[in-house]
Amino acid sequence: MVIQESTYTAYRPMLFGLAYRMLGSASDAEDIVQDVFARYMQLDATDIGNEKAYLAKMTTNRCLNLLQSSKRRRETYVGPWLPEPLPDEAGDGSRSGGGSYWSDPAERRENIGYAYLVLLQKLSPLERAIYVLKATLGFEYADLADMLGKTEASCRKTFSRAQAKIGSETGPASAPLPAVVLDGEREAACERFVDAFLSAADTGNFKPLLSLLLDEVTLVSDGGGKARAALNSIVGIERVMAFIEGIAAKGVFERGLRRVLVNGAPALAQYQDGRITKMICVEITKEPEGSRINNIYMVMNPDKLTRFE
């Protein structure tokens, strides 16, 4: 039986989302999805009972292999490693040719939000695979066991361990989705941050940002050795503000700062001579007094910003 073009159209968004969550790299996710379909189109699908599960299995195993081969590269990466952000308006796949990566805006916002993507990278590759396949894509433990060559009991245990890690970072592990998932309140808080930052860049006064940050806020910057960035995370509201004000004092934010939508959420992009040099995303946490920012992510590695050119 010949694989139909409709298969590619139907499953490409799901497979890209799976690979992107697994790898934190849209470029690598694109390559893997293209390779999976190239190989799948050569198969006789007569004996494939569950097309969705079979394609997810192919994609997952290729992601695990790539993560294993790139482990040393990650370990020697200069400074903190952050996932590659994606612009909302460029979700049609520049190299893959047509069609949206996301099934709908809700999928982009709820399951591939930038804070969620960062959180997933804290899991081991196997934990990440099982968590995404189960919690996000809804596969059963029997499917996971077949995909990964594990027992159902082992998959169940790994999922519980991953869920506990996610919960320890964001709140109760029993929540259907982690507390970093963007909702209306968090989106509004993102908007307030973007507005306040743009205003501060115009006036030179960044003090109004203080009310939007948690006392234990953390700033992580990723230059990858190709752009100037802090080599360690900056923790605490005073140190974070000193870092931001230090950059601002050099005139970095005086021009080229724009509001953008990244992974379904408001964010900031810094442009210079038509080239993007910095992407600023935030993670919002809900507090009794209202939603505030607990993490600021600055991506400056030029290799991760080419989609915003």
Please report the DSSP string for 22-42 in residue order. HHS-HHHHHHHHHHHHHHHTT
Per this entry, what is the length of the chain?
309
CA–CA dist 219, 114 (Å, integer):
14
Examine domains 5-170 and 184-308 and report if their fold is the same. Answer: no
**Are 55 and 15 contacting, i.e. CB atoms less than 8 angstroms apart?**
yes
Give the CA distances from residue 181 to residues 36, 46, 111, in Å, rounded to whole numbers and listed in that order: 29, 39, 7
Residue 259 predicted with pLDDT over 60:
yes
Q: What pLDDT is recorded for position 46?
A: 72
Q: Which of the four pLDDT bands, split at 50, 70 and 90, describes residue 168? A: low
Which CATH code for domain 184-308?
3.10.450.50
Mean pLDDT is lowest, of 52-66, 115-129, 216-230, 285-299, for: 285-299
Q: What pLDDT is recorded for position 269?
A: 95
Strand order in the sheet with 290-299: 234-235, 213-222, 290-299, 275-287, 265-272, 257-262
Domain residue spans of the chain: 5-170, 184-308
Assigned superfamily of 5-170: PhyR, sigma-like (SL) domain (1.20.140.160)
pTM over cut 0.75: yes
- What is the per-residue pLDDT across 93-144, written as a single tens digit (0 to 9) for each? 433 333 445 544 444 444 578 998 999 999 999 999 999 999 989 999 999 9
